[in-house]
Chains A and B, each alone.
Chain A
Amino acid sequence: MIDTDVLDRVLARAVRSGAGFAEVFAEDRRSTSLAFDDGRVDRVTSGRDRGAGIRVVNGSTTGYAHTADLSETGLLAAADAAAAAAGSGSDGQRVVGPVGARDDGARHSPVATPPAEIAKSARVDLLLAADEAARSAGAEIVQVSAGVGDTRRSVLIANTDGVHVADDVTRVLFRVSAVADGDAGMQTGYRSLGHTVGWEIFDTVEVSELAADAARQALVKLAARPAPSGSMPVVIKNGSGGVLFHEACGHGLEADHIAKGTSVYAGRVGELVASPLVTLVDDGTMAGEWGTSGVDDEGTPTQRNVLISDGVLTDYMWDLLRARREGRVLSGNGRRESYECLPMVRMTNTFVLEGPHDPDEIVAATDHGVYVAELGGGSVNTATGDFVFGMREAYLIEGGRITEPLREGNLIGNGPKVLADIDMLAGDFAMGGPGTCGKDGQGVPVGDGQPTLRVSSMTVGGTAA
């Protein structure tokens, strides 16, 4: 994307007034998406975003500027703007060596069939199949929408520490939603899949099955009763969305929150912060998963990081800036939405390992509670630990059996307390659907997963007594 000698000159320019660190992040992203709604392919779009962001760190100040102009002139102008933004305070004279030979990011997710080789007509066929499958699931299905998209994101990262890497990640996403209409109003169902692979994913996944399942979810909820209100045991199905851990502790383990004392987990490394059943991992190398890449958006190879081991907090997640300041080892968690954004500490694929229980045993051991078959999104206040997540498909548990479907609602809890209250964990690990994690206005793709588990007490936010 950019020649090595140009990178050298741009980096030298960025630190010429004495800044301690500079970085070039160049990105070329192509995307194609087709959407089907209301019986029609109504959105066919494709596009390209290409540009570079230049970061200059001067003492405690980071300056950032970006440009869509990848010529040397454009990059030098951005370097000047970033250096000016970083201010004139000085880390001292800095000698910049040339960036080294380029390392290609370890491609953990090779692409067998590049989406660019797939005709748009083949994509239309997938959407039609999904629509037909969802509509044939029941006469009450009144609306179906579906979308299929792919992105190919090539990045080049070089910095004054000598990093010079490239990575190339392809993502394929499919989603389908259905609306069912019944006597008590409308209900919705939703399924999606997303992987860092090529079009070969559709050799093994039947989109019609996903669509039928979205329709089933909407149909089931037509008979749903209002969710209960109050504290009770909550059983969460395997692979239904590790968003529970993403919110309950994932964000609170990001080093920027730790450094600013805005996390309930600050200063707790080595302490028991969760039930001894819980081992939590963030792993950006998992083949094919949604949050996977070869390197993070600062050029650090992604890796498998154990954050909580048998309930004990082992480490936080780090980006380059925080790791440098605290003298820590990089963990490959510096990510950004695009070249227009500063990197931050972010999760990749976050999941909980298996435990000793049997999923049926967990339900059978619960006298009265809620069984969540699929979670929706969530959010957290890392400073207080209070977090919420939605339940897209849930049922009542009565007398150790899953009974009636429930209408949607949020659950609320406090991170450290919920982690301590995980009293049963099964051996049926599964990854959940693709997610987009939002932080400070930036969205990045993340994965999550967990086995079936039980939280002994959480507040369910329904309306029924």
Chain B
Amino acid sequence: MSVPSPDELLAIGDRLVGRAAPGEQVEVFVARGDSTEVRVYGGEVEHFVSAHSEGVGVRVISGGRTGTSYAGTLDPNAVDEVLDEARANAAFGTPDEFAGLVEPDGVDTVPIELWDERLPATSTEDKIALVTELERITLGLDPRVRVDEADYSDGGGESAIVTTTGIRRHRRANSCHVSVSALADDDDETQTGFGFSVGDAPADLDLAEAAGDAVDRATRLLGATKPRSRRTTVVLDPFVTAQVLGIIGSTLNGESVVKGRSLFRDRLGETIAAPGVTLIDDPTDPRAFTATDVDGEGLAARRNVLIDSGRLEMFVHSGYSARRAGTVSTGNAIRGGVAGLPGAGCQALQLVPGARAQEELISSIDDGVLVQSVSGIHSGVNTVSGDFSTGASGMSISNGAIAAPVREFTIATTLQRLLLDIIEIGADLRWLPMRAAGMSLVIGDVTVSGSS
């Protein structure tokens, strides 16, 4: 992972944009990156993947019609073909008066450092040693524990966006993380838990925390039974909250709103959540795993308050969804890679944290369930209807304290009710390797389905 020079990628963008025909808008997105993935098992390296990826994606808008094309290479001939093909594809799009690239909007980027020189300076041996140590620490914490996956991964990359509308941006970023999956055995029973730690460089990674989380999560589930079915209060663990925030964020996506698919599409300015809920999307917070200074269309990323004390303040927009909604981009264009069009989406969600730690939150609950993990969040949640149902495991809460472990149950409500039923937000804000930060979240009146 050498230190990339911005000039090379911008030059590819400049060259292609220079080939735009009169009246044609062209956007070029060029990216390349390197990554390492090391898995240790039984004290030895199970696999070591050393990867280099690169590619280019081009969007052409002509007469209101949009076409895109991509290639997984920066070979100059292939890059030229991509532009030609995007142009040919545009002929088959439906003319759309709202199609168009964004123009510079005068919003300055927040200066955040996303590149850490310590990471490319880390040797392969040190990376292997780190994850070997993670496995060793995890195994040493409890004799009932096995480890099936101890992983280290890092990635560093750069990208450039150049358009005929005057956008010309370059960004680079790198980060690393470790994760460990533990199995706890007791007689015929096995339970699982995971832990991880994220950082700018290996020195930032907290192996003890990752190992401790994995072991605690696995061992405390030993002996778990199905809870009885009832409506009760649930406390979501930070990792679960982060997944739920990601889903809530998707309902506030401007593209879903303009296309009539958001269940909150007509609710701007109204109360959609409990009064204590303030939801912010802020990719300029350098602590965020998905921190960025630039969005997927080359505008400055920015801090947006989506829900303020329960009131829906705004939706997040890309250039296209904003134009259709009669507003301006909120710097929330998201790209999945070089292929396809950027969409609108939240980038780094967080709730404004509350005052109390998880243990104190639990101390106020007579009967409830602490949900430490959920499964099937994509099969059981419909962001259009709002139906919410996921598999879960965790700990029962009785008389203000953690009691017996529980598994093989579901928690169900609707997204509309979930937001209004938030009783309290924990102080334990935690940054996770996803598009949202987590913290403990107390939600009332959730249906637990387990034994009859």
Interface residues of A (CB under 8 A from B): 34, 37-51, 59-69, 81-82, 84-87, 120-121, 123-124, 142-143, 179, 181, 185-188, 221, 227, 229-231, 260-262, 264, 340, 342, 376-381, 383-384, 386-390, 407-414, 459-463
Q: How far is the CA of A376 from the CA of B50 in the complex (A)?
A: 35
Q: How far is the CA of A462 from the CA of B385 in the complex (A)?
A: 14
B51's partner among A46, A65, A123, A381 (CB-CB below 8 A) is: A65
Once the chains bind, are B73 and A68 in contact (CB under 8 Å)?
A: yes
B391 nearest in chain A by CB position: A388
Give the interface centre of A260, A378, A388, A412 by most chain B CB atoms within 10 Å: A412
- 7 additional A-B pairs beyond A38-B258, A459-B450, beta carbons within 8 Å, are A44-B67, A63-B48, A68-B72, A68-B75, A262-B190, A388-B390, A414-B408
Residues of A contacting B229 with CB < 8 Å? Answer: 229-230
B89 at the interface (CB under 8 A from A): yes
Residues of A contacting B47 with CB < 8 Å? Answer: 61-64, 342
Q: List 12 A-B contacts (CB under 8 A).
A: A34-B92, A41-B93, A42-B66, A42-B341, A44-B92, A45-B70, A68-B52, A82-B50, A229-B410, A230-B450, A377-B376, A410-B379
Contact stretch, chosen from B38-46, B160-168, B292-300, B346-354: B38-46
B19 at the interface (CB under 8 A from A): no
A186's partner among B45, B124, B263, B448 (CB-CB below 8 A) is: B263
A341 nearest in chain B by CB position: B49
Residues of B contacting A461 with CB < 8 Å? Answer: 380, 389-391, 409-412, 449
Q: A42-B93, A44-B93 are in contact. Are A87 and B148 (CB under 8 A)?
A: no
B407's partner among A67, A384, A462 (CB-CB below 8 A) is: A384
B191 at the interface (CB under 8 A from A): yes
Once the chains bind, are A188 and B384 in contact (CB under 8 Å)?
A: yes
Residues of A contacting B44 with CB < 8 Å? Answer: 59-61
A413's partner among B42, B261, B408 (CB-CB below 8 A) is: B408
B389's partner among A34, A61, A342, A410 (CB-CB below 8 A) is: A410
Residues of A contacting B24 with CB < 8 Å? Answer: none
Please give the distance in Å from A56's CB to the nearest CB on chain B: 10
Residues of A contacting B260 with CB < 8 Å? Answer: 38, 142-143, 179, 181
Interface 1/0s, chain B 342-378, versus A by CB < 8 A? 0000000000000000000000000000000001101
Mostly, the A contact residues are strand
Once the chains bind, are B69 and A45 in contact (CB under 8 Å)?
A: yes
Once the chains bind, are B82 and A47 in contact (CB under 8 Å)?
A: yes
Residues of A contacting B67 with CB < 8 Å? Answer: 44-45
A143 nearest in chain B by CB position: B260
Q: A51-B72, A260-B148, A459-B408 are in contact. Are A386 and B93 (CB under 8 A)?
A: no
CB within 8 Å of A: which B247-283 residues: 258-261, 263
Q: How many cross-chain pairs have Cβ atoms below 8 Å apart between A and B?
A: 262
Q: A61-B48, A260-B148, A463-B413 are in contact. Are A45 and B339 (CB under 8 A)?
A: yes
Q: A49-B71, A262-B148 are in contact. Are A384 and B192 (CB under 8 A)?
A: yes
B8 at the interface (CB under 8 A from A): no
Once the chains bind, are A462 and B412 in contact (CB under 8 Å)?
A: yes
Once the chains bind, are A230 and B449 in contact (CB under 8 Å)?
A: yes
Residues of B contacting A411 with CB < 8 Å? Answer: 410
B89's partner among A44, A386, A463 (CB-CB below 8 A) is: A44
Q: How far is the CA of A146 from the CA of B420 in the complex (A)?
A: 34
Once the chains bind, are A408 and B50 in contact (CB under 8 Å)?
A: no
Once the chains bind, are A378 and B407 in contact (CB under 8 Å)?
A: no
CB within 8 Å of A: which B389-412 residues: 389-391, 393, 407-412
Residues of B contacting A41 with CB < 8 Å? Answer: 92-94
Once the chains bind, are A44 and B90 in contact (CB under 8 Å)?
A: yes
B128 nearest in chain A by CB position: A87
Residues of B contacting A66 with CB < 8 Å? Answer: 51-52
Please give the distance in Å from A231's CB to the nearest CB on chain B: 5
Residues of A contacting B48 with CB < 8 Å? Answer: 61-64, 85-87
Please give the distance in Å from B27's CB to the nearest CB on chain A: 13
Once the chains bind, are A459 and B376 in contact (CB under 8 Å)?
A: no
Once the chains bind, are B378 and A377 in contact (CB under 8 Å)?
A: yes
A383's partner among B190, B376, B385, B447 (CB-CB below 8 A) is: B190
Interface 1/0s, chain B 57-73, versus A by CB < 8 A? 10000000011111111
Please give the distance in Å from A173's CB to the nearest CB on chain B: 15
Residues of A contacting B380 with CB < 8 Å? Answer: 376, 388, 390, 408-410, 461
B54 nearest in chain A by CB position: A68
Q: How far is the CA of A67 from the CA of B340 in the complex (A)?
A: 22
Once the chains bind, are A120 and B50 in contact (CB under 8 Å)?
A: no
Q: How far is the CA of A142 from the CA of B49 in the complex (A)?
A: 47
Once the chains bind, are A390 and B379 in contact (CB under 8 Å)?
A: yes
B73's partner among A50, A63, A186 (CB-CB below 8 A) is: A50
Once the chains bind, are B71 and A229 in contact (CB under 8 Å)?
A: no
Q: A48-B71, A186-B385, A227-B389 are in contact. Are A143 and B51 (CB under 8 A)?
A: no
Q: How far is the CA of A315 from the CA of B124 in the complex (A)?
A: 38
Per CB-CB distance, the 8 closest pairs between chain A and chain B, nearest first, are: A461-B410, A390-B379, A410-B380, A388-B376, A409-B389, A388-B391, A47-B70, A49-B72
